[in-house]
A and B are shown apart, each in its own frame.
Chain A
């Protein structure tokens, strides 16, 4: 019995769940971002990831504070507003064996950071890109963001005259290889999607509606808990099955399950609900997002995945040995080569 108790406390990496925790959150009580941080912890624990193999990044904003609230042992870099993608892209070249995770917000990604977000997406690095989307600027106390819906009225701001940006759609048109949307109030789905995102070989964009309890939690806004809970339409139930576990397809009724095999052999099982949705069909994914917008649905689940899309690193002829462990003799060409260059220019 004592052995079993010990085994229950550590994962395959030999770590307890506590070892995946971060500092105490300084965000508001009830903030959706805290729930997401907890699911990142749970996902990494369940995936048996070693914290040193994960590198955390963020920009600026409430969301960007959250990398300190999970994976204390991991390297992390809280960079500039809207410019986390470039920082992360350069850093992961240091040792391509690490997996990057970035936490951003709707302002950080869809306003100041739109350019870097989309360019990171088209480069397809192995990276989990989470947008904690609350439709408002929290850290500067409640201004409209690019994802705020038209007609939203906020204290001190008046009524938002502009149409919102759909982060999932932006990711789609920029050739993202993995796009999902979830709702912070659905922790199980958030966790399953994060686990799938970590197993995806390229960039995984997770647009997670994360209500701001202080500045933006009105009943009629799709960034609120109340609206989200009543309007969320899951595309499918999601179960993530790690590669080393036997896949129990028979748990699902015949014809209602679609299996997507990820790069590392793990599988996402999608239990279809209302309609026949194929997340590997890029056109259908975009069509579905348009339809959802027209119908005022908050569609959650895996919107699109292409496990075969070439990754950033595949576009380079990189050595197996991490670049940042290379020694002078590998990096400085021999003196004779410089003599030859001088001779050619003389």
Chain B
């Protein structure tokens, strides 16, 4: 069975609500607005859509691409084919034209003079300059509004309802009338020009679908920020870094209306932009130590800088939540491209023996859930919790399930206040394992009981938090902490397992690789291959993880990095790791189902 046969040839596919559009524009030209409006309008029509922004590390001037995929079957992963290309950037035009699939469509700004040599595609010109000039828009806004021309042209040519576009404009511009009207005017003019001047000869079009389920459209960083807010975050220390910045920026946007005390109007969450990541995590750990639900948000380079402090929090048992919205490393790497390359760093973070609770959300709605759940775990276990999101999940808009309100009360952990210490006659010890679960009791700053204070130190300490260099004390305390984190395996989010009767192989994955894996499984079924699937959502690995691996002879571990980091960690958890087959790939682009299928089928041929 060939790879090509596994995915249907383009001409055989139904083109209604089932194609992709790539917009080739110039960074900083306002194209993000146009693209998001189209995405939301299609979403409002009930069509499953995803949008992926492939942008440069630059503010203005370099080429940028945005791909919208419509999938009536609900597959939201990246596709490698462009059915429709919208070419707005003269600089990248020659190359952009080559991306279009045979039988595909090219919409191009008619001021681009590069000749179109391809005969296997349909090309439509768009008089962008003329339409913008004719629109009653101030000259300074012309460039930003020029992208609205392709919104209007596509709306007319594909059948996108203008009412849905109006709704999307209203959402995007938050009801600001002037902005909505000027953009809508250009869109309508472009649609009218298209109706009068272009004759449709291509098969691509859209139609409304009945909306099933409670879906919203949001990005993972927004979801994470909201999750943290509903998790009662009280302190955030952060430092700007792509692709994590929008997480705290969104938090700043929502905090005033969600977290001003209803009685006093005072803020119940503090956000401090630190001088660097070293300070951002230092502040968060200080706040966590003082009894606040504290977090920081960063990306790989920032996590590298936070490493020493994370180790301190681990050993001194301070709750703190660290979001790592991953980008491509090592080094500065590809700052605007996506990766799952920080897993082993997070797992082994810091010098000496450490272990962390790591949460790996696989959808935008899970970013919300883990946003609040991370605090419960951090405070319950008195330990740092790292959440590994990534650029694809964090910065792109996704169709996702509605955010669900936390299903249980906040878990604040073992904190002793004045009345508790009174009952204990002031007799307590910070690192004493009273309950046999390895989790000691703590007091926090501001407690006025004379026995409340204790001294926290990153140096060796005994149960009473006193300095100690005793070999037995060191070993005993570090082992207790390791056992404590280990015991979280049954309380962290458990893996999501999906089986098929008669499956002969298994796929293991994590995070934002999920939609590509789900689609790959469907394609593999078409090729006669059934698969079981486990999506890992946390470390320490749940008992189910090893059970699942042992139930399968061939576990393809699909992930977005070069070295197969998830496979590396899983191989430490099982006695025989030959059943774990690395299916890793990291070029900065989100995984596609086509790549997964071809890789697994090639590996299967080798096995057989």
Residue B80 at the A interface, CB < 8 A?
no
Chain A residue, CB-CB nearest to B223:
A345
Contact A98 B445 (CB under 8 A): yes
Complex CA gap A77/B317 in Å reads: 12
Q: What are the residues of chain A within 8 A of B237 when measuring CB–CB?
A: 86, 90
Whether A319 touches B453, Cβ cut-off 8 Å, given contacts A116-B278, A335-B405, is no
Complex CA gap A89/B272 in Å reads: 10
Complex CA gap A256/B577 in Å reads: 83
> How does the 8 Å CB contact mask read for A157-175 relative to B, with 1 for contact and 0 for none?
0000000000000000000
Residue A83 at the B interface, CB < 8 A?
yes
Contact A332 B403 (CB under 8 A): no
Residue B462 at the A interface, CB < 8 A?
no
Q: What are the residues of chain A within 8 A of B410 when measuring CB–CB?
A: 328, 331-332
Complex CA gap A56/B445 in Å reads: 10
The segment from B1-9, B88-96, B180-188, B213-221 found at the interface with A is: B213-221
Residue A310 at the B interface, CB < 8 A?
no
Chain A residue, CB-CB nearest to B217:
A345
Most B CB within 10 A of own CB, among A55, A326, A338: A338
Contact A75 B308 (CB under 8 A): no
Q: What are the residues of chain A within 8 A of B287 when measuring CB–CB?
A: 90-91, 93-94
Contact A75 B264 (CB under 8 A): no
Complex CA gap A95/B279 in Å reads: 20
> How does the 8 Å CB contact mask read for A315-331 relative to B, with 1 for contact and 0 for none?
01111101111101011
Residue A78 at the B interface, CB < 8 A?
yes
A: number of interface residues (CB 8 Å): 57
Q: What are the residues of chain B within 8 A of A317 when measuring CB–CB?
A: 260, 265-267
Q: What are the residues of chain A within 8 A of B450 when measuring CB–CB?
A: 51-52, 73
Closest beta carbon of chain B to A70's beta carbon, Å: 11
Contact B259 A333 (CB under 8 A): yes
Q: What are the residues of chain A within 8 A of B268 when measuring CB–CB?
A: 319, 323, 326, 330-331
Complex CA gap A225/B402 in Å reads: 69
Q: Contact check: which of A53, A87, A318 meets B282 at CB < 8 Å?
A: A87
Contact A83 B309 (CB under 8 A): yes
Contact B290 A80 (CB under 8 A): no
Chain A residue, CB-CB nearest to B281:
A86
Closest beta carbon of chain B to A79's beta carbon, Å: 7
Whether A90 touches B284, Cβ cut-off 8 Å, given contacts A323-B292, A332-B230, is yes
B: number of interface residues (CB 8 Å): 72
Name B389-413 residues within 8 Å CB distance of A: 402-403, 405-406, 409-410
> How does the 8 Å CB contact mask read for A190-229 relative to B, with 1 for contact and 0 for none?
0000000000000000000000000000000000000000
Contact A116 B279 (CB under 8 A): yes
Residue B113 at the A interface, CB < 8 A?
no
Contact A90 B235 (CB under 8 A): yes
Residue B286 at the A interface, CB < 8 A?
yes
Residue B171 at the A interface, CB < 8 A?
yes
Closest beta carbon of chain B to A147's beta carbon, Å: 21
Complex CA gap A76/B430 in Å reads: 13
Whether A52 touches B452, Cβ cut-off 8 Å, given contacts A319-B264, A332-B406, A346-B215, is yes
22 residue pairs A–B, Cβ–Cβ below 8 Å: A52-B448, A55-B445, A72-B453, A75-B443, A75-B452, A78-B456, A78-B459, A80-B308, A85-B282, A86-B274, A87-B286, A90-B292, A91-B445, A93-B290, A119-B274, A119-B279, A323-B235, A324-B446, A331-B232, A332-B410, A335-B405, A346-B217
Pick the 9 closest A-B CB pairs, nearest first.
A94-B290, A86-B282, A95-B446, A90-B286, A331-B232, A324-B291, A90-B283, A319-B266, A91-B286
